Amino acid sequence: MMPRLFISLGVVISICISCDEGGGMSGGEPVIELLAPTTLTISNLGQNSFRVEWSSVTGADFYEVTIASDDLFDNTVSPYNELRENSTGLNVSNLEMSTEYFIRVRTVIDDQRSDYSITQTVTTLSEPDGEPDIALKEVATTFKVGMAVRASRLNGLHAQILEKEYNSLTSEFEMKMNIMYPRQGDYDFSKADAIVNYAEEHGMQVHGHALIWHAATPSWVENFAGTDQEFEDMVKDYITTTVSRYRGRVVSWDVVNEAFADGSGNLRNSVFLQRMGPDYIKKCHEWTRAADPDVLIFYNDYNMVTDDTKRKAALSLMDEFIRDGVPVDGFGFQMHIAYNGPSRSRIQSAANEVIDRELLLHFSELDVRANPGNDLSSLTDTRAEAQKKKVKEVVEVYNGIPDQYKFALTVWGLRDDESWLLDFWGQADWPLLYDKNFALKKAHTGFVEALQ
């Protein structure tokens, strides 16, 4: 008798039925023949990684995946030698560039294994030619391109890139009160002078950042022993002294930075609010304009795209200033964002609220986190492409606003390993346009493509 085949739930059961010597029927034990996955597909191919997915087999307990560098599977790649996988897909990494790999999968049910699937081949990508080396300031024809700097990094490769790429500088932290006015009656403008002098020597503008910021307040100011009026006089003297020193040399100032609390329309409970009252921002703007009648005055804050309540409260204060004749020229969105948000439409909508008030808009501190979920140990090609897309969206939105409301788009740091985000979040990330080796990234190309 011929064997009869019963196919059920991805398992082939072969039962051999034969006649005994007396002509009777004798049934043999079922022989289980497992099915292997019928298809293998490759995606997310990179220089040292790819993803493999296979069709499911009903009833499978798990699958064994083997990857090798030869078609006989004599040279398997660790740890992918009959690697157990409960799902129907696997991210493969730590491979060699420009190398052909062979993949096969088999099904396991209980202690039985199927034959191997068909063998799939894939070749990892080669070393890229590199991103196009196009200077940002050459393609940004309707606004300034800025960079956050430190006085100690105005030399070497930093200086070469600054001079090639940028025409606007912002001090990362050395033009804040705790650095410029560390002790009462004792100013220290050495770092600020170095930045301003460097900018003038290389034909760059300087955006002053920031006269008043709660997180950069010297301890002697926090613990000021005089009366409230003496405190106010001290702040006025500090602003007047600083702005006058750079009159005609610093084109603009973030006068009061981050004055509103997160998630509310309330002013942050800083020492300036406590000692000077809710009009302290108005007074600081007026003292700045008195010290330099031509300087541009900005209000600057973070989460201006995502925190609607906070943004509307800040813009409402700007409305009051415009109505009452209090000096204000522009509004800064810090733009500390991520590859997966906020959306382009939300950025555009928030930008429109500033433009509707006929204020200058400054995208003032752009960085784009590539690892907000802490799911990467290195920057993958896929994530780098997503970061590039977000940078491109941001620049396209900014470039699309009417020219008369553009001020500058400032990137908050030159290369990945120098970003403030690493210490702030305590995890790996690659949020800038250059990598740690001063090499251009896809994010830089996204910036350029948005302007071409």
H/E element, 445: helix 442-451
Please tell me the distance from the alpha carbon of residue 390 to that of residue 430, in angstroms, as a whole number: 14
How many CA atoms lie less than 13 Å away from 137 in the CB half-sphere?
Answer: 17
Size of the chain, expressed as the number of residues it contains: 452
Find the Cα–Cα–Cα–Cα dihedral 336, 340, 344, 347, rounded to 10°: -30
Please tell me the distance from the alpha carbon of residue 222 to that of residue 304, in angstroms, as a whole number: 27
CB atoms within 10 A of CB 419: 20
Report, in angstroms and rounded to the nearest whole number, the Rg of the chain calculated over CA atoms. 31
Please tell me the distance from the alpha carbon of residue 175 to that of residue 312, in angstroms, as a whole number: 28
Catalytic residue, chosen from 258, 286, 393, 449, is 258
DSSP class of residue 382 equals: H
Which DSSP string corresponds to 79-123?
T-SSEEESSSEEEE-S--TT-EEEEEEEEEETTEEPPP-PPEEEE
For the record, the structure tokens of 239 come out as 């602003």
Catalytic residue, chosen from 131, 232, 286, 365, is 365
For the record, the structure tokens of 422 come out as 């690493």
Computed from CA positions of residues 105, 90, 46, 378, in that sequence, does the dihedral angle turn out positive or negative?
Answer: negative
H/E element, 180: helix 177-180
DSSP class of residue 151 equals: G
Residue 232 falls in the annotated catalytic set: no
Please tell me the distance from the alpha carbon of residue 417 to that of residue 434, in angstroms, as a whole number: 9
Please tell me the distance from the alpha carbon of residue 114 to that of residue 64, in angstroms, as a whole number: 10
Residue 365 falls in the annotated catalytic set: yes
Residues belonging to the active site = 258, 365
